[in-house]
Amino acid sequence: MLSALHEREAKMDTSVAPGIAIPHGYFHDLKGIIGALGFSPNGIDYGAPDEEPVHLVVMLLLGEGEHERHLKVLSQVLTLIQSGALSQIRNFPSPQTVYDILCSTGSF
């Protein structure tokens, strides 16, 4: 699974907004989509075009047949970025608060 993420990152950097990256890749043995959120208060040197550290990582692993759903999930994540919800999440370490913010946007 990590190889799938590294392979995708080698093709194109997935930092999509200041401080936010969405590493994603396809994995042949996976059915569906798995996602995870990661937070780094100090930031990660991600090699972003703006050369700023990444504080929030939205990682997605997708099954081989999930191309349409992949685009839908990426669209939902971008909506969260544009709405400011992901910026709010960086300030709340509680999993319940993160869940509440994600649910309040109507994207998930």
List, for residues 52-66, the tens digit of each pLDDT value. 898 888 888 888 888
Residue pLDDT, tens place only, 72-87? 888 888 888 888 777 7
Domain 2-104 homologous superfamily, CATH: Mannitol-specific EII; Chain A (3.40.930.10)
Asked whether 81 and 17 are in contact (CB, 8 A), the reply is: yes
Angstrom distances, CA of residue 26 to CA of 14, 29, 54, 55, 78: 14, 9, 22, 24, 19
Domain ranges of the chain: 2-104
Rounded Cα distance between 66 and 2, Å, is 18
Q: What pTM does this model have?
A: 0.78
